Amino acid sequence: MEKAGILHSKHDRLLLFKRKSEVIFVYIFLVIFFIAAMLLSDRFMTERNLRNLIISNIGLLFVAYGQLFIVLLGGVDLSVGSVISLTNVICVTMITENPSTWFLAFIASLAAGAGVGLVNGLLVVRGRLQPIIATLATQIFCRGGALYHAGPGGNSPL
């Protein structure tokens, strides 16, 4: 009977070391990047610059955090960019039509994103499609939905 978390063979130990070495390489690269940035600019590590970096990249950080779990589980999601476009178009058009409904626009965007995620999950789990095929299909669907909703160049046909 095997116990969870115990490395039984030399292959298991080598695989674990390989994974750790890849992670260590990423951390070493980040440290080198930060040291180079600090040496090249006297404003890099200021509070104002760090705040600006966080504010301008917070959306990307949320997306990357969500993608982290998909990649760690061995999947792939190609529809992320198109889902972001679709939810942004939904939110912006609702707020443009009636600015006082910003909370409803937020909820509608959140529901649209969750709905696409549910469809992706059902296609992969219940439909037994490969994740790359399922998310490619939803990517095309969401891109078309965003284009239809916003219109070419952002001129809404609605």
Tens of pLDDT along 67-116? 888 888 888 899 999 999 999 999 999 999 899 999 999 999 999 999 99
pTM summary value:
0.68
CA atoms within 13 A on the CB side of 138: 28
Summarize pLDDT for 44-60 with one digit per residue, the tens: 889 999 899 889 999 88
Tokens of 157: 């046909």
C-alpha–C-alpha distance, residues 92 and 114, integer Å? 18
To which residue do tokens 């490395």 refer?
7
Q: Are 138 and 79 in contact (CB under 8 A)?
A: yes
- Please count the other Cβ atoms lying within 10 Å of the Cβ belonging to residue 116: 22
**99-103: long-range contacts at Cβ-Cβ below 8 A with a sequence spacing of 24 or more?**
none
